Amino acid sequence: MDKKTLFKAFKIAIDREYEARKFYSDLAEQVDDEKLKKLFRTFAAEESGHLEKLESLYSALKEK
């Protein structure tokens, strides 16, 4: 895979993680059940972790 394609793939993955985090955060705000709020906030936090890893890898690749 060439570098341009790899960067594009990372950009898509990063965008999807942002979307997923927003999706779960929005759900947490919309539900009344505290257990569901906690669950959706946990999912949003997991997406943030994925996002941090992807952004770190993307930055490392750009430096090469």
Q: Residue 63: its pLDDT value, please?
A: 83
pTM above 0.85, yes or no: yes
pLDDT tens digits for range 34-43: 999 999 999 9
What is the per-residue pLDDT for 27? Answer: 98
Q: Which residues of 20-51 are buried (b: 16+ CB within 10 A; e: fewer)?
A: bbeebbebbeeeeeeeeeeebeebbeebbeeb
Domain ranges of the chain: 3-63
Q: Is residue 33 predicted with pLDDT exceeding 80?
A: yes
pLDDT beyond 80 at 64:
no
